């Protein structure tokens, strides 16, 4: 709509904002009217109209099988548009049009803002299924007529009240019509069912909706005056009411077709099951985070016990083996600590990688500078846990075997992530040191030390990737990991 308005019309940005506000609300008018809506705006030279938006009803058959947005119509071809634009009134005169053997009643509603007519809404009603209207349909049509008059007068939509139609109640969810005193004159079956969920035992018609709603909603103090006012439809507001183990969502729309409030529409939706599921998810998320927190604490306890045991050992080899185990357990604990702070099972792995690098750097026999370049990005826990162990083993191996006591050097961890989707990406990780390099005849696929066995098992088995160790030029060792950036099914 932005492009069409700016390309073809003389409307300014504030006018465009008003049209956006209207379009965000007009599903309500379409459903109440059982009709398609097309918004026509005059072009810059005033000789044509351009259709900038379209809405089909959820309550009836459509009048347009094709998309009308972007169509240009010369002025004079549709007299109802001309009359509504020039005279600033709702135009209903004229015989039904026939479109593909379907009779369609066309009406034109001027869109007014601050005294100026910006465009015209063409309301197109499919008459093929016309029958004697029920009480519900008559209430819908009367409410649609009131809203149309408010649009023509410039009092609807309500400024500063842009509504998220995906989250707000719709006409079909439940509709209540109030008179000027807030007394219910009509309640649809769905609306009545929603109030029965709150604990209402009688009919709604004839009752003051605000007071009835406040009585059904539990309160420790006096009656909630704000709730009474909102449910009475005095102002355009939304709220949720909970009572008797039920939750309903309310949206009030004051009706002022001639400038004076004659009543209100209240849309309501039973959201009891939705809120129950949301609470279950919140509880589940909290439980999962607590589990990760406890796993982290248990792992830190295990690491502390291993560290105590290593201090009591006389064998240097045994002490070093236990210290390696401490670092392996610590790398897993870092992942669980991060997961305990997140709302989902995904982590920012760059922070984990930096903490692993810092932890392993403590064992460096020389003055080795460890650093990271590139970004790992966000990874699922199924990737992050084994990858943290792999990174720990590779860095530990580099710092123990590449440098002698007191020797200076660098170890760089580089990460390159490819692919734009969550399921089709790859992660290329290179660990490069400038140490002594690999011994002659060394085969990383057959080397028998425990660390490399862990790396091979995790990379090829759990991560579904590849692992290789190469001589670096002019000296040192390069370890290359190529793994999927998402779990493999």
Number of other CB atoms surrounding residue 77 within 10 Å: 10
How far apart are alpha carbons 293 and 167 in whole angstroms? 34
Single out the residue of 20, 5, 154 nearest to residue 89, CA to CA.
154
Single out the residue of 350, 356, 369, 293 nearest to residue 327, CA to CA.
356
Helix or strand holding residue 146 (H, E):
helix 135-153
End-to-end CA distance of the chain: 42
pLDDT reported for residue 220 = 47
How far apart are alpha carbons 28 and 335 in whole angstroms? 48
- Can you give the C-alpha Rg of the chain in angstroms? 34
pLDDT reported for residue 471 = 86
> What tokens were used for 462?
């759990």
> What tokens were used for 457?
């098992």
pLDDT reported for residue 17 = 93
Under DSSP, is residue 4 helix (H, G, I), strand (E, B) or coil? helix
**Torsional sign, CA 354, 357, 361, 366:** negative
| Run means of pLDDT, 10 residues per run, the chain, 489 residues | 93 94 93 95 94 94 88 93 94 81 90 95 87 88 95 90 76 95 95 93 93 80 69 88 89 92 94 88 79 85 87 84 83 82 80 88 74 90 88 86 80 85 76 86 73 86 89 88 81
> What tokens were used for 330?
């610590």
pLDDT reported for residue 481 = 92
pLDDT reported for residue 229 = 83
Whether residue 157 is preceded by a cis peptide bond, meaning omega within 30 degrees of 0, is yes
Predicted structure pTM score: 0.65
> What tokens were used for 466?
């590849």
> What tokens were used for 332?
């897993």
pLDDT reported for residue 322 = 86
> What tokens were used for 321?
């083996």
């Amino acid at each position: 709509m932005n492009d069409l308005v700016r390309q073809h019309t003389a409307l300014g940005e504030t006018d465009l904002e008003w049209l956006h506000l209207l379009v965000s609300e007009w599903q309500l008018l379409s459903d109440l009217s059982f009709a398609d809506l097309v918004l026509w705006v005059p072009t810059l030279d005033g000789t044509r109209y351009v259709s900038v938006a379209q809405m089909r009803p959820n309550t009836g058959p459509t009048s347009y099988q094709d998309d009308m947005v972007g169509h240009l119509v010369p002025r004079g071809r549709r007299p109802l548009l001309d009359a509504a634009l020039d005279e600033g009134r709702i135009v209903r005169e004229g015989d039904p049009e026939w479109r593909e053997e379907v009779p369609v009643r066309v009406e034109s509603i001027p869109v007014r803002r601050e005294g100026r007519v910006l465009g015209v809404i063409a309301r197109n009603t499919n008459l093929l299924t016309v029958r004697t209207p029920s009480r519900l349909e008559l209430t819908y049509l009367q409410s649609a007529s009131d809203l149309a008059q408010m649009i023509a007068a410039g009092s609807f939509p309500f400024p500063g009240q842009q509504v998220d139609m995906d989250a707000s109640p719709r006409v079909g969810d439940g509709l209540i019509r109030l008179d000027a005193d807030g007394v219910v004159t009509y309640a649809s079956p769905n609306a009545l069912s929603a109030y029965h969920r709150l604990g209402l035992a009688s009919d709604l018609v004839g009752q003051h909706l605000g007071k009835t709603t406040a009585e059904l909603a539990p309160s420790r103090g006096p009656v909630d005056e704000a709730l009474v006012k909102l449910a009475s439809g005095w102002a355009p507001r939304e709220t949720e009411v909970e009572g008797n183990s039920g939750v309903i969502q309310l949206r009030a729309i004051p009706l002022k077709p001639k400038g004076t409030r004659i009543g209100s529409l209240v849309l309501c939706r039973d959201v009891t099951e939705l809120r129950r599921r949301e609470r279950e998810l919140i509880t589940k998320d909290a439980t999962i985070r607590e589990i990760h927190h406890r796993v982290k604490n248990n792992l830190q306890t295990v690491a502390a016990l291993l560290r105590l045991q290593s201090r009591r050992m006389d064998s240097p080899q045994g002490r070093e083996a236990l210290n390696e185990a401490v670092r392996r357990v610590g790398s897993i604990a870092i992942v669980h600590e991060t997961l305990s702070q997140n709302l989902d099972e995904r982590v920012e792995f760059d922070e984990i990688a930096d903490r692993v690098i810092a932890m392993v750097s403590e064992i460096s026999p020389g003055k080795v500078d460890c650093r990271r370049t590139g970004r790992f990005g966000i990874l699922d826990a199924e990737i992050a846990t084994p990858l943290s162990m792999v990174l720990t083993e590779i860095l530990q191996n580099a710092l123990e075997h590449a440098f002698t006591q007191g020797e200076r050097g660098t170890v760089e961890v580089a990460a390159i992530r490819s692919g734009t989707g969550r399921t089709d990406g790859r992660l290329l990780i290179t660990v490069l040191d400038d140490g002594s390099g690999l011994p002659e005849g060394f085969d990383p696929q057959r080397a028998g030390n425990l660390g490399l066995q862990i790396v091979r098992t995790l990379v090829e088995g759990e991560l579904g990737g590849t692992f290789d160790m190469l001589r670096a030029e002019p000296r040192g060792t390069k370890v290359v990991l190529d793994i999927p950036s998402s779990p493999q099914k």
